[in-house]
Amino acid sequence: MGRMNLLGNCISNSTGAVEGFCVIKSVQVKSNVKGADYLDFILADAGGEVNAKLWDYSAAAHGAYETGDIIKVRGTINIWKDVEQLKIDRIRHKRDEDVVDMSSIVASSPVNGEDMFNKILEFAGTFHDSDLALLTQYLLKSRKEAIACYPAALRLHHAIRCGLMFHTGTMLEVAKKIVEVYKPIYPELSPDLVYCGIILHDIAKTEELTVSELGIATSYSTRGQLMGHINMGVAMVEQAAAELQISEELTTLISHILLSHHGQPDYGSPKFPMFPEAEIVSEIDMLDARMFEMYDALGSVNIGDFTERQWAMDNRQLYRHGHGIVKSEQ
């Protein structure tokens, strides 16, 4: 990501000096070659993240800091090995009397997570297949609080507050358009399988990720690291289906959609999609993830320029052409 707004809500000048509030994404105590302690941070706000160093660290003088803490820092942006780095001069925790716009601290979805959750929950109730409607709503309701505010990832696509609902809602809208095109051509296509698969495909992110009260992921949970959201999601579906007495055949179809939604083994799926509805979910998932990643990367470069190589997208450089921007009348 690009330079923090430091951070959007921070004051900066031509010398690279910055001051403002941000959140600690990670922090470690390290020692330099002389044996002196320093803190190595990843600091973040709604505009991005930056590596930061607090040299000559003393817990007595500076205090203790943990992942997820909101802090105020003053420092200078320097370049180290062609990468921006913040040298911290002053640091403190956010105080109760501080007035801070939290939307400037945490990168957030453009949609309201709770509103989107309610919209999706209501939509699931319109399925023609009552068992799929029951299963989908049951799993949504069982994890409402987390689903409504969780990011969709630790890093990369939709790794923002309410990113899971943003990702799911966008996928659902794309799916509706695809169904409009293909259902008349292929009458056997099941819209309910597509919609159910999309709504549930990442539901286990609520168990895979460790998320702070700010709605940002700080790490993978132990189970998440050992099992992954695909396997955990299938287990959730199978357990819920057993409780609701959903047929084995229908449970297997939904489980396969979750197992195959990453498309291929290299991306974490133990199975390729093996029926059309699973293929649709997988393709929309990939498309929506890449659209987010592309526009996120392009937002940090000027029109006519290329991004740095994006390792998550086959090491491609992306070009910002600007052709779709509506120009104001002269």
User: 213-225, pLDDT tens digit by residue?
Assistant: 778 888 999 999 9
Residue 198 to residue 261: CA distance in whole angstroms:
9
Last residue of a domain, one of 105, 122, 146: 105
> Are 152 and 202 part of one and the same domain?
yes
Token digits of residue 57: 């660290």
How far is the first Cα of the chain from the last one, in angstroms, to the nearest whole number? 33
327 domain-assigned: no
Cβ(11)–Cβ(69) below 8 Å: no
Token digits of residue 198: 């999309």
Question: Is the pTM value of this prediction over 0.75?
Answer: yes
Number of residues that this document lists for the chain = 330
Cβ(256)–Cβ(271) below 8 Å: yes
> Are 128 and 246 part of one and the same domain?
yes
Each residue's pLDDT tens digit, 270-325: 899 999 999 999 999 999 999 999 999 998 899 999 999 988 888 999 999 999 88
- CATH of residue 66: 2.40.50.140
- Supply the pLDDT for residue 272: 95
The angle, 0 to 180 degrees and rounded to 10, between the axes of the packed helices 130-142 and 113-124 is 160
- Supply the pLDDT for residue 284: 98
Using the structure block, give the residue that is written with the tokens 């003088």.
61
> Are 238 and 174 part of one and the same domain?
yes
DSSP state, residue 159: -
305 domain-assigned: no
Would you place residue 328 in the very low, low, confident or very high pLDDT band (cuts 50, 70, 90)? low
> Are 288 and 200 part of one and the same domain?
yes
- Supply the pLDDT for residue 327: 67
255 domain-assigned: yes
DSSP state, residue 328: P
> Are 82 and 163 part of one and the same domain?
no
Residue 55 to residue 166: CA distance in whole angstroms:
39
5 domain-assigned: no
Residue 229 to residue 259: CA distance in whole angstroms:
10
> Are 27 and 126 part of one and the same domain?
no
Residue 212 to residue 227: CA distance in whole angstroms:
21
Q: Pick 168 or 310 by higher pLDDT.
A: 168
Per-chain mean pLDDT for the chain:
90
Q: Which whole number is the average pLDDT over 236-246? A: 98
- CATH of residue 127: 1.10.3210
> Are 289 and 168 part of one and the same domain?
yes
> Are 101 and 117 part of one and the same domain?
no
- Supply the pLDDT for residue 8: 46
> Are 159 and 285 part of one and the same domain?
yes
282 domain-assigned: yes
> Are 99 and 244 part of one and the same domain?
no
Cβ(3)–Cβ(84) below 8 Å: yes
Domain hosting 185: range is 113-293
318 domain-assigned: no
Residue 208 to residue 238: CA distance in whole angstroms:
17
Each residue's pLDDT tens digit, 91-110: 999 998 998 877 788 878 88
Percent of the chain exceeding pLDDT 70 equals 94
> Are 139 and 256 part of one and the same domain?
yes
Q: Pick 51 or 267 by higher pLDDT.
A: 51
> Are 162 and 127 part of one and the same domain?
yes
> Lowest-confidence range among 122-131, 137-146, 212-221, 282-291?
212-221
- Supply the pLDDT for residue 198: 98
> Lowest-confidence range among 125-129, 189-193, 326-330?
326-330
C-alpha angle with apex 287: 283 to 292, nearest 5 degrees?
155
Last residue of a domain, one of 105, 140, 175: 105
Cβ(148)–Cβ(140) below 8 Å: no
- Supply the pLDDT for residue 33: 87
Residue 128 to residue 194: CA distance in whole angstroms:
12
Last residue of a domain, one of 70, 105, 140: 105
Cβ(39)–Cβ(26) below 8 Å: no
Peptide bond into 7 cis (omega under 30): yes
Residue 158 to residue 292: CA distance in whole angstroms:
7
* Residue 121 in this model has a pLDDT that exceeds 90: yes
- Count of domains forming the chain: 2
Cβ(290)–Cβ(313) below 8 Å: yes
299 domain-assigned: no
Would you place residue 146 in the very low, low, confident or very high pLDDT band (cuts 50, 70, 90)? very high
**Dihedral angle over CA of 174, 177, 179, 182, nearest 10:** -120
Q: What are the strands, taking DSSP E only, across the chain?
A: 11-12, 17-31, 37-45, 48-54, 70-80, 83-93, 209-211, 217-220
Single-letter amino acid, residue 115: D
88 domain-assigned: yes
Q: How far is CA 316 from CA 194, 290, 297, 306, in A?
A: 31, 12, 11, 10
Each residue's pLDDT tens digit, 30-74: 998 889 999 999 998 887 788 999 999 999 999 999 988 899 999
Residues 6+ apart with CB under 8 A from 270: 230, 259
